[in-house]
Amino acid sequence: MNYKIEICANSIASCLEAQKGGAHRVELCASIPEGGTTPSYASIALARELLNIKLHVIIRPRGGDFLYSALEHQIMLKDIEMAKKLNVDGIVIGCLTPQGDVDMQRNRELIDAAEGMSVTFHRAFDMCRNPFESMENIISLRCDRILTSGRKPKAEQGIPLIRQLVKQADERIIIMPGSGINEYNIAKIAHETGAKEFHLSVREKIESNMIYRTPNLSMGGTTITIDEYAQEITSASRVAKALKNLQQANSDNNLIRY
């Protein structure tokens, strides 16, 4: 089985750790606490310089819902133009209508702008009214894959739906589970869903080197708690362990089958 791991990378450091651990590609994002937004030009440019693996970039101008204004749509088109100039391998998008359906016109315009690049429809899919109808619409848009947690907070909880989606997709599109996947549950999710690509972050907290600290002051809002004196960075060893566990589970299944 040709399994592939995509790492949700929140920084260049995480990109490099993902590559070191053997990941197939990274999805570079900013603002992870908001679910991921488009990273800076410099971050994308440096990631492209330093990575030999595939580099995908999320195209999302803000956190919140996936119903975008005309102005936000123009921002996304400009971001895709930038990503293409920097030789990014793929983009990650998702626009919905007020009724919770896939916005065919908006998504088609973004996909047309990304011609020649791989396209992933992100977890806006999990906010759709009807997952099976939405999947067919996304297939008709010629996206390469759908990132989904099976409409649950964590992919492990969404296994039943992910399994149904993989079956209905019938290799017309890649169904890529994501959210809460780690080196300990990835083999189970692979076995029970039939998925071949997986989206995970496997980060570790790295303590800040700051000596002087002001612990009662935060640069962010009060709705999201952020540790100002630590960074979450992908762990190469955890990436490697996830891959090893996937391959081992596949080997064991083959032994049982034959």
pLDDT of residue 255 exceeding 50, the answer is: no
Phi first, then psi: what are they for 146, rounded to 5°?
Answer: -125, 130
Beta pairing, strands 174-177 & 230-234:
unpaired
What pTM did the predictor assign? 0.92
**Looking at the 3D structure of the chain, how many domains does it have?**
1
More confident residue, 140 or 225: 140
pLDDT at 254: 58
Q: How many residues does the chain have?
A: 258
Question: CA distances (Å), 141 to each of 135, 145, 162, 227, 237, in order?
Answer: 10, 11, 20, 40, 37
Cα 37 to chain centroid distance, Å, stands at: 11
Beta pairing, strands 4-9 & 203-207:
unpaired
Here the CATH number for the domain that contains residue 93 is 3.20.20.380
Query: In 10 A of CB 82, how many CB atoms?
Result: 16
Handedness of CA 98, 104, 110, 114 (dihedral sign): positive
pLDDT at 217: 79
* CB within 8 Å of 163: residues ≥ 6 apart: 192, 193, 194
pLDDT of residue 42 exceeding 70, the answer is: yes
pLDDT of residue 222 exceeding 70, the answer is: no
The answer to whether 103 and 134 are in contact (CB under 8 A) is no
pLDDT of residue 132 exceeding 60, the answer is: yes
pLDDT digits (tens, 9 = 90+) for 50-92: 999 999 999 999 999 999 999 999 999 999 999 999 999 999 9
pLDDT mean over 140-160: 98
Domain that holds residue 116: 4-257
Beta pairing, strands 118-121 & 54-58:
unpaired
